[in-house]
Structure 1
């Protein structure tokens, strides 16, 4: 179980598979460089970036799913820890940002969909919904995607949201973190902060 969570009463958590660009996105949002390893699965415990006066923090949770060279038992443990962390702190979490790779997410979801299998990304999306944490899907690396609208519509379809994706702008945020293009995510976060009556936090996503 993850230890040492700062005592903050408002939090945004970032979840996602390894190598989808969560750390780059955190750097873009906070201006703070998080040490990321060259290997997937290097982030094994949460990275918190917090502000004491506002009692607020962004938390980058360890990547889940397949990681080369990481035994399955360890991968399962990481996922369990991530789920437990979000569950135990759900009352303080204003939004859960599920970061996916826009280029490969549809293929990954389809490859892992079967009668007895729910793909991790879809499972996490429903899990956030179940515990009443507003979910935002940050669809990263969109600069590498040609059929943008079609890809985003397909993603909505896989998540059980009716296309077109444009009607889900507080949930689906196409971004390119490496290029600093994260406006749709900030916009979605502003909506959720406002809904939670936390306009004092809007400056962190302006």
Structure 2
């Protein structure tokens, strides 16, 4: 289980390894301390970036799923720790941001869909919503996607949201963190902060 969590409300970033969570974290906080790299699984424990006066933090949780060079038992333990962390702190999570790779997420979901298998991304999306955590899917790397509307409609379909995706702009946020294009995510977070009477945090997503 992850230890040493500061006593704050938070926005958590969750997702598979190598989808760009740490790059997004850097973009959201304006801070360069978050390690990024081409090798999956760089983040092995939560990275908190907090503002004590506002009792608020962004948290980048470790990536889940297959990681090159990481034993399967270790990656499964990380996934379990992520679930436990979110469950234990659900009351203090203002929003859960599920980060996915816009270019590959639909294919990955389809590859892992079957009678006895629920894809991790779909499972995590519904897990956050079942805990009544406002959930935003940050669809990253959209600069590499040609058929944006079609791809996002397909993703909505896989997540159980009725397309078209544009009716879900508080839930589906197409971004390109590496290029600094995260406005759709910021807009969704503004809505969720306002709904939870935390307008004092709007300055962090403006």
TM-score by length of 1: 0.98
Map 1:41-80 onto structure 2 (within 5 A).
Answer: 41-80=41-80
Query: Which residue in 2 is equivalent to 1:117?
Result: 117
**C-alpha displacement at 1:69, in angstroms?**
1.6
Please state whether the residue corresponding to 2:149 is helix, strand or coil.
helix
Match of 1:3 in 2: 3
Shift of 1:36: 2.9
Q: Secondary structure at the match of 2:14?
A: strand
Comparing 34-43 with 158-167, which one deviates more in the overlay? Answer: 34-43
Judge conservation of contact 1:37–1:43 (CA < 8 Å) in 2.
Answer: no
The normalised TM-score by structure 2 is: 0.98
Moved over 3 A (4+): none
Cα distance in 2 for partners of 1:42, 1:186 equals: 25
Match of 2:40 in 1: 40
Partner of 1:22: 21
Cα distance in structure 1, aligned partners of 2:70 and 2:170: 34
Q: What is the root-mean-square deviation in Å for CA atoms of aligned residues?
A: 0.7
Partner in structure 2 of residue 31 of structure 1: 30
Q: Where does structure 1 lack aligned partners over 5 or more consecutive residues? A: none
- After the TM superposition, which residues 82-161 of structure 1 pair with which residues of structure 2 at under 5 Å, given as runs? 82-161=82-161
Distance 1:145 1:38, change over 3 A: closer
Equivalent-residue separation in structure 2 for 1:55 and 1:163 (angstroms): 37
Shift of 1:70: 1.2
Structure 2 residue matching 1:53: 3-state secondary structure: helix
Would you say how many aligned residue pairs link Structure 1 and Structure 2? 205
Q: Distance in 1 between matches of 2:178 and 2:7?
A: 30
Cα distance between partner residues in 2 of 1:185 and 1:151: 17
Deviation at 1:38, TM superposition (A): 4.5
Helix, strand or coil: the match of 2:114? coil
Which residue does 2:194 correspond to in 1? 194
